[in-house]
Amino acid sequence: MYKKEEIPVIEPKDIIIGNVDAPVTITEFIDYESEKCVQAHEIVKEVMQTFSGKINFNFRHFPLVKIHQRAHKAAEAAIGAAQEGKFLEMHETLLKNRRHLGTITLKSYAKEVGVTSKSFLNDLINSKYGWFVQDDLKHGIDLGVRDVPAFFINGEKFEGNITSKSLSRFISDALKKRKIKKAA
């Protein structure tokens, strides 16, 4: 009897961009169709450079499906790409093309970023990663997320207008707190 080998799935909570041992983790809940998320991503890239090696990012999915019908499937595509180490490339592509996120288009984006899985389209159609997106949604709701983008820095919710300056200040404070804890 043939036994199918189960391949473990890399979950969104395990997708870390940057130094995995960094003292500060920034979790961002996003929706790939949101203009505000596209704008915030430019700030995220700037902050990643400024605090290189000191922070890492964990992108979680919070598709606002009542207004963005394709965001859920786009989040699944990002998780699918992550299985081949192509999360960041797919993430950037999805944000750049937020108005064009149909299933067939998602497959072509995956190919563009280097995803080689022959089952990628099938996985999307069958919602292989749908439960992981739902887990992210539930986690976000449990944390009080109501809109995107939503940022948490070492578990503490970032409130206010997202600018490079305000986010950098919050990160600097988090780094200081970590140094104080280590010294104690």
Residue 14 maps to a domain: no
Buried b (16+ CB within 10 A) or exposed e, 160-170: eebeeeebeeb
pTM attached to this predicted model: 0.90
- Report the distance separating Cα 29 and Cα 40, nearest Å: 11
Residue 15 maps to a domain: no
Residue 150 maps to a domain: yes
Residue 12 has what pLDDT?
A: 79
Q: What are phi and psi of 150, to 5 degrees?
A: -125, 130
Which residues constitute the domain of residue 95?
23-183
Residue 16 maps to a domain: no
Q: How confident is the model at residue 41 (pLDDT cuts 50, 70, 90)?
A: very high
Domain count of the chain?
1
Q: Are 128 and 80 in contact (CB under 8 A)?
A: yes
Judged by DSSP in three states, 101 sits in coil
Residue 1 maps to a domain: no
The enclosing domain of 80 has a CATH number of: 3.40.30.10
pLDDT tens digits, one per residue of 112-170: 999 999 999 999 999 999 999 999 999 999 999 999 999 999 999 998 899 999 999 99
Q: Are 100 and 33 in contact (CB under 8 A)?
A: no
